[in-house]
């Protein structure tokens, strides 16, 4: 249980993949609509405690970058007297960075690219580590929230899993808010393993309510408040050789790498399997245990 003087640190990862968002550009699920909801949520989070910390990472199709805080000085003119200083500053910085991100997309990049979720998670974990080390005297309770719109890229399976296990070890919950009905089994696993919240938003005109209900309570309240739970978790893995998501496969007995096809040596740890014991004994591919 957290104490009252725990400072929250929220790392928000926004999936900004333009290939997905462009599909919804003229509906009420458009990027700007969703961002409006998200910004109110960010303000609500900052309102909860004056010292709540925030970082926002854009997970784009070709890069991941921090969009808040940034080093760019944004000049947006004087603050209107109706806006709270902190909200005004964060919101403007965010909107400005998102604009720049959109403008930097060149027309040549027509080929579909997956969102860089794994690198965003790594960035988030590094940032959390840095902040905790910088503020040794305060007790900071970090968490990560991913706003996910794009499907899994099985190429990123290994780095994503590494991030998940690092987060688990560092006791950092990863929450996921899934917006469109794309398949995201890796992120489901992330919430399952790190004890986070997974929320599938069915009606995105109500996104703000979903966000306030499921993702606003900070870590100390997670044991008090009833938060959405996953009924079923898809724990399938992706193979290391062809990056396919598989139900049944071969597992290296030494390094536990997963393969969809049988081979004589492990491509990850270079172990040569002695085939003598293998032949005839194990015909069932679901038990490729090579131990004697």
Partner 1 sequence: MLYIANSTINNTSESIQGDVSVFLEKLSDEEFQRLYTQPATCLAIFRLLPDLAKQFIMRLLYIKKEVPLEHIKGWCYEQYIDKVNESLRRLYKLHICTKNENDEIRMSTVFQENLNNALIGAGNHTSFGSASTSVDKHKVNIEFLDKHGTEQWEAVLHYMVGANIRKKPSPAVLKLLERSGLMAKKDEDVNDEYKVFNRVDINELQITNKGFQFLLQDVNTQVWAFLIQYLNMVDDLKMDLVEVLNFLFQLGSLQLGADYSVESLTPTQQQMLNDLKHLGIIYQRKRGSKRFYPTRLATSLTSGSMLISKPSTEDSGFIILETNSRLYAYTDSPLQISVLNLFVVLKARFANMVVGMITRDSIRSALNHGITADQIITYLRTHAHPEMKKNMPILPLTVVDQIRLWEMERNRLKDEKSYLYHEFARAEDFQEVLNYAKQFDIVIWSNIRKRMLVVTTEGHSKVRAYIKKRIGSRQSNMHKQQQ
Residues near partner 1 (CB under 8 A): 4, 40, 43-44, 47-51, 78-85, 87-88, 91, 136-138, 208-209, 212-213, 216-218, 220-221, 223-226
Q: How far is the CB of 30 from partner 1 (least distance, A)?
A: 18
Measured distance CA(142)–CA(48) in Å, rounded = 15
Q: Which is nearer to partner 1, 84 or 262 (CB)?
A: 84
Q: Which is nearer to partner 1, 202 or 234 (CB)?
A: 202
Q: Which is nearer to partner 1, 24 or 213 (CB)?
A: 213
Q: Which is nearer to partner 1, 216 or 245 (CB)?
A: 216
Short-list 46, 44, 65, 62, CA closest to 54: 46
Q: How far is the CB of 179 from partner 1 (least distance, A)?
A: 19
Measured distance CA(278)–CA(239) in Å, rounded = 21
Measured distance CA(120)–CA(63) in Å, rounded = 9
Q: Which is nearer to partner 1, 79 or 261 (CB)?
A: 79
Q: Token pair 């854009």 is at which residue?
A: 58
Output the CA angle 208-70-54, nearest 5 degrees.
Answer: 40
Q: How far is the CB of 84 from partner 1 (least distance, A)?
A: 5
Taking the CA of residue 72 as centre, how many other CA atoms within 13 Å lie in the half-sphere pointing to its CB?
18
Q: Tell me the two tokens of residue 18.
A: 């333009």
Measured distance CA(112)–CA(109) in Å, rounded = 8
């Amino acid at each position: 249980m957290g104490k009252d003087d725990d400072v929250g640190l929220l790392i928000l990862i926004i999936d900004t993949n333009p290939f997905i968002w462009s599909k919804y550009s003229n509906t009420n699920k458009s990027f700007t609509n969703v961002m409006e909801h998200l910004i109110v949520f960010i303000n609500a989070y900052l309102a909860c405690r004056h010292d709540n910390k925030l970082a926002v990472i854009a997970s784009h199709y070709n890069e991941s970058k921090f969009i808040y805080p940034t080093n760019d000085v944004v000049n947006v003119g004087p603050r209107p007297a109706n806006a709270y200083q902190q909200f005004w500053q964060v919101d403007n910085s965010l909107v400005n960075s998102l604009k720049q991100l959109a403008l930097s997309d060149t027309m040549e990049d027509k080929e579909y690219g997956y969102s860089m979720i794994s690198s965003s998670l790594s960035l988030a974990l590094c940032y959390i580590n840095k902040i905790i080390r910088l503020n040794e005297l305060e007790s900071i309770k970090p968490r990560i929230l991913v706003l996910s719109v794009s499907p899994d890229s099985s190429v990123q399976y290994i780095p994503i899993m590494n991030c998940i296990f690092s987060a688990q070890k560092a006791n950092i919950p990863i929450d996921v808010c899934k917006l469109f009905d794309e398949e995201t089994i890796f992120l489901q696993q992330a919430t399952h393993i790190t004890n986070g919240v997974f929320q599938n938003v069915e009606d995105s005109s109500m996104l703000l309510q979903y966000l306030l209900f499921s993702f606003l309570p900070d870590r100390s309240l997670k044991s008090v408040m009833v938060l959405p739970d996953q009924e079923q978790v898809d724990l399938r893995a992706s193979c290391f050789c062809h990056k396919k998501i598989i139900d049944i496969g071969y597992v290296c007995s030494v390094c536990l790498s997963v393969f969809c096809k049988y081979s004589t040596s492990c491509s990850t740890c270079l172990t040569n399997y002695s085939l003598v014991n293998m032949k005839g004994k194990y015909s069932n591919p679901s038990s490729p245990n090579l131990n004697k």
